[in-house]
Amino acid sequence: MCEKLISINKLSAGTKNYQILHNISFDINACEIVCLLGSSGSGKTMTALSILNMLPLNVTQTSGSILYNNKPFNENICGTFISMIMQAPASCFDSVFTIGTQFKDILISNHKEYSINRVYTMLEKVELHNPQDILNSYPFQLSGGMLQRVMIAIALSLDSKVIIADEPTSDLDVAGQKEIIDLILKLKKENKSVLMITHNLAVAKSCADKIAVMEHGRLVDIFKKDELLLENRHKYTKELIAANNWLYANKWNIDLGENYAEM
């Protein structure tokens, strides 16, 4: 039986006026890549922010629980147990400090050992083979893909067990997407678990062990990757599959609309 690192149980959250998340339950096990898949606004980021205990001020958890190694949240969870790779890494770095300064500050503020050799090793692990130049650069001097890799190197240096990656491929071209997917797979080999948020079924298919599908704030389907094409998939999952492969639109009788039919 796999070790449960994070267990989300009947989580609901919302503002004073409306509910955003409804009764979400799923687990993240050791050395597992879970992809949270769904369209824009379906609640993927809110789920991740709930796990990080970082919901916006106007949003609160209204019911349910989240356990980390069977324990409730405490102040040491973020950084040491979980770290996050953001969708737009440029906005996470301060443009007036070098990458090296910020890398060091993050390690020290999370009470992690800092040594330049270890930082070099982590940068090498994410295929940044000129670590000295990277550390001397300012964020605006690096591409989006390079900044994503620096964030992954920071997450590795923090030695967190779980890494949450919020759409890490969405701002990248196809080659950049593949590089980040390869790195996510490498994280699993380093005994990390990953919660990867994406709206891209192909990305989920290429790296997930388990896919959880969200629609309108609800988790409507959850399954192992090799169960993707089973007949008992939820209607919304089938629509996502059909939109990627019209053969399944025919098989499941899903109307993809006039524009798609013309292709």
Ligand X SMILES: Nc1ncnc2c1ncn2[C@@H]1O[C@H](COP(=O)(O)OP(=O)(O)OP(=O)(O)O)[C@@H](O)[C@H]1O
Nearer to ligand X, 48 or 162 (CB): 48
| CA distances in angstroms from 236 to 43, 89, 127, 138, 166, listed in the order given | 15, 30, 37, 43, 21
Q: Which amino acid is at 51?
A: I
Compare residues 45 and 137 and give the one whose CB is closer to ligand X.
Answer: 45
Distance from C-alpha of 177 to C-alpha of 128, rounded to nearest angstrom? 16
> Least distance to ligand X from the beta carbon of 20, Å?
4
What are the structure tokens assigned to 158, written together? 């923090």
Q: Within positions 148 to 207, which residues make up the interface with ligand X, using CB under 6 A?
A: 199
Please state at what angle helix 144-158 crosses helix 99-109, rounded to 10 degrees: 30
| AA letter at 238 | K
Are 135 and 98 in contact, with CB atoms under 8 Å apart? yes
Minimum Å gap between C-beta 40 and ligand X is 3
When the beta carbons of 146 and 164 are compared against ligand X, the nearer one is 164
Binding mask 38-67 for ligand X (x = CB under 6 A): x-xxxxxxx---------x-xx--------
Span interacting with ligand X, options 36-44, 62-70, 74-82, 171-179, rule CB under 6 A: 36-44
Stretch of 24-32, 33-41, 69-77, 149-157 lying at the interface with ligand X (CB under 6 A): 33-41
For residue 135, give the nearest of 145, 122, 86 by alpha carbon.
122
The residue ranges that bind ligand X (CB under 6 A) are: 15, 20, 38, 40-46, 56, 58-59, 199
